[in-house]
Amino acid sequence: MRRFLQIQILRIFRTVGSILTREEIGLASLGASDEEVKKLAACYWHSVEFGLCRQHAAGTELSQEQGNGTASSIKAYGAGLLSSFGELEYACGGEEGKEGGPTFLPWDPEVAAVQSYPITTYQPVYFVAESLLDAKEKMRKYCEKKMSRPFYARYMPEVQSIWVDRAVRVGKKVG
């Protein structure tokens, strides 16, 4: 029964985590340049597909300094990780800094946007958010600060539509 509950919790965690970050990345891609889309794709890879999050005790905030320094305090929310038992064990089952093991970096979209990633082997670098909300907020701030879009977009779940702050027209692509 406990194993069943753990699997259900992981499914919920994966769905919520992916939606939170995926929504921000999807909105940011509207009106983005080709170079910005490449950076968003890298952020997508390092969060929605291979994102990690610190495990917090109920009712507490656990900072990186307070963590025990091992990957055991880290949980996966990325769909790519959760669908690969071997990589899940590799990413969450060992000690950070162990020879042959992965490197863990704090979730920073600006760094993730330029971090290369292999598609046929385990990831050498994983980004770890302090929480799912932290991942979403940092992604939103990155998009607002670093994207040169001609408008601001927000998803409105109540009416299932995208709100933009000014009129947008589809034009011919220049260049």
Q: What is the 3-state secondary structure (H, E, C) of the chain?
A: CHHHHHHHHHHHHHHHHHHHHHHHHHHHHCCCCHHHHHHHHHHHHHHHHCCEEECCCCCCCCCHHHCCCEHHHEEECCHHHHCCHHHHHHHHCCECCCCCCCEEEECCHHHHCCCCCCCCCCCCEEEEECCHHHHHHHHHHHHHHHCCCCCCEEEECCCCEEEECCCCCCCCCCC
Q: What are phi and psi of 77, to 5 degrees?
A: -130, -10
Q: Is 110 annotated as a binding residue?
A: no
Q: Binding site membership: which residues?
A: 49
Q: Binding site membership for Fe cation: which residues?
A: 49
